[in-house]
Amino acid sequence: MSAPVSHRLGVCMTMRSEEVLEILAGAGYDFVLIDCQHGAASEADVVTLVRRSAAAPAEIMVRVSSNSPALIGKVLDAGADGVIVPLVDTAAEARAAVAACRYRPAGDRSFGPIRADLPRTPAELEGRASCFVMIESAEGVANAVEIAAVEGLAGVLVGPGDLSISLGLDPIEGFTTDQIFEPLAAVRAACGRAGIATGVFAAAAADVARWTGQGVEMTIVGSDVGLLGAAAAQAVAAGRA
């Protein structure tokens, strides 16, 4: 997936549920992010989850729990459309993430697609595997130009919470104030120079315009748990009334 022309909207899935994935993937989002870093699902669970979404109109991305070739290869073999690799601070770490998505001689991915409808040639499999990395620290921001320039990278996402902690700031306010606008602008400029996408995690749909106003092309808004909780609270309030 190359840098998008228009804004792309995604949602984070933290539950280990085929039914939830099917609902989210059909709700109109551009992509659903299965979160193996902070969610209940592991990379092994993705094998089962992604099969349920083979015909879904939304792309299925996976945030892996670490920058591991084995874990990245597993979710791509399962049929994920791409990976998001967290906590990338250097260009070397970004190159390792990209290499895990590419076969030899360009990378170190092992051949083994396991979903029946997947292509069977390395070139086709590589062509459908997007690699995004996350900048979540002051070190990552300082290295943003070198990270964004890594060949084969589709984009860089910023994590407002962890980046705020790295800067000595409140992580919750990273989502609701302008405290990371300056480092985000540095990342955005680096990605623009490299011709790749910039993305960010947002707490609520009301925040999307604030982030797009900062030039980001991808926003991951909320989660399945948050949406369910909000809908349940609204239903209870209406019922009590």
Record the tokens describing residue 83, joined without a space.
């990976």
**Quick one: average pLDDT of 51-55?**
72
Per-residue model confidence as pLDDT tens digits over 82-136: 999 999 999 999 999 999 999 999 999 999 998 888 999 999 999 999 999 999 9
Question: Is 38 labeled as catalytic in the residue annotation?
Answer: yes
Alpha helices in 54-180 (DSSP H): 69-77, 91-99, 122-127, 138-142, 144-148, 160-166, 173-176
Contacts of 10 (CB under 8 A, 6+ apart): 29, 30, 31, 32, 33, 61, 218, 219, 220, 221
The per-residue pLDDT for 56 is 78
The per-residue pLDDT for 5 is 45
pLDDT band at 212 (very low <50, low <70, confident <90, very high): very high
Question: Which residue is it, tokens 């030899």?
Answer: 104
**Whole-number percent of the chain with pLDDT over 90:** 90
Is the predicted pLDDT of residue 4 greater than 80, yes or no?
A: no
**Quick one: average pLDDT of 234-238?**
97
Domain ranges for the chain, please list them: 8-131+197-240
Is the predicted pLDDT of residue 181 greater than 50, yes or no?
A: yes
Select from 7, 6, 65 the least CA-distant residue to 35: 65
The per-residue pLDDT for 1 is 39
Catalytic residue among 2, 27, 28, 38: 38
133 phi/psi in degrees, rounded to 5: -120, 160
CB 42 within 8 A of CB 90: no
| CA–CA dist 116, 139 (Å, integer) | 41
| CA–CA dist 119, 103 (Å, integer) | 14
Q: Torsion-angle region of residue 152: left (phi > 0), alpha (psi -120 to 50) or beta?
A: left
Q: Which CATH architecture has domain 8-131+197-240?
A: Alpha-Beta Barrel (3.20)
